[in-house]
Each structure stands twice: as C-alpha cells, then as structure tokens.
C-alpha cells in the first residue's frame, strides 16, 4: 500500500517521489515518475497546482469479464486504456480511452474529493 501525502489541490506524492492525480475517467489514481531513476519517466513543469506532464500518460490494464461464467477465463478479459495529455492542470483524454471521458478535456479533480 502506497502512502500518499497531499501536495496541492490536484496532486499527491508518495515516499518514492512519485506524483499522483485522481483520474475522473478511471476513478483511480495514476502515478507519474519524474526526475532521475529507473523505469519510465515523465517531464514535469514543477507546478503542483497546474501540472504539465510530458509525454502523454498511457495506462493500460485488463479486467476480468463482467460475465460470471467468463470470470476465470483470461482470454475474455476486457482491455482498458486511459491515454491523456496532462497540461496546466487539465487532463485531455484521447480518443483511445475506453472510459466515458474519451475525447474530453477536464480539470484534474481535487485530491480531497
Ligand atoms: Zn485514467
């Protein structure tokens, strides 16, 4: 379990200095690693209220089928995609998102909501 500490209205960070924002499309938090270190890294403008991350944020995962009979069949897993540009505190969801905010631009939700 990651411990978050709130950085601003929009962002929190973990002990590993990863930044997190709440994704209103996925209803989960997405983590951004910045600065030196292993793994994928994003550029960050250093602004905690109106962050910009570059390049785009792409999150993919699979969920078991909603059909109970297919729940244990990994070939029936549903592929989920969340792909966005985070620019000056707004999330621009690209059209390849599988959630309902695909193609829309929204403010990063308040961390406390
Ligand atoms: Zn998302």
What's the rounded Cα separation, in Å, for the pair 66 and 35? 39
- Distance from the alpha carbon of residue 101 to the mean position of ligand 1, in angstroms: 9
Give the distance (Å) from ligand 1 centre to CA of residue 58.
8
What are the pLDDT digits (tens) for 22-68? 999 999 999 999 988 888 899 999 999 999 999 999 999 999 988 88
Q: Which residues surround ligand 1, an ion (CB under 5 A)?
A: 23, 25-26, 82
CB atoms within 10 A of CB 97: 21
This prediction's pTM: 0.88
- Residue whose entry in the numeric block shows the structure tokens 């631009």: 105
Residue 104: exposed, middle, or buried by beta-carbon count in 10 A (0-12, 13-18, 19+)? Answer: middle
Q: What is the C-alpha end-to-end distance of the chain, expressed in Å?
A: 20
């Amino acid at each position: 379990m990651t411990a978050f500490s709130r950085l601003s209205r929009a962002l929190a960070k973990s002990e590993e200095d990863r930044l997190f924002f709440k994704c209103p499309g996925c209803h989960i938090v997405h983590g951004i690693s910045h600065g030196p270190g292993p793994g994928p890294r994003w550029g960050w403008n250093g602004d905690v209220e109106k962050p910009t991350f570059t390049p785009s944020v792409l999150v993919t995962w699979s969920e078991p089928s909603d059909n109970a009979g297919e729940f244990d069949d990994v070939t029936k897993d549903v592929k989920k995609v969340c792909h966005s540009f985070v620019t000056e505190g707004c999330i621009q969801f690209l059209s390849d998102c599988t959630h309902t905010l695909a193609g829309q631009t929204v403010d990063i939700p308040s961390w406390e909501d």
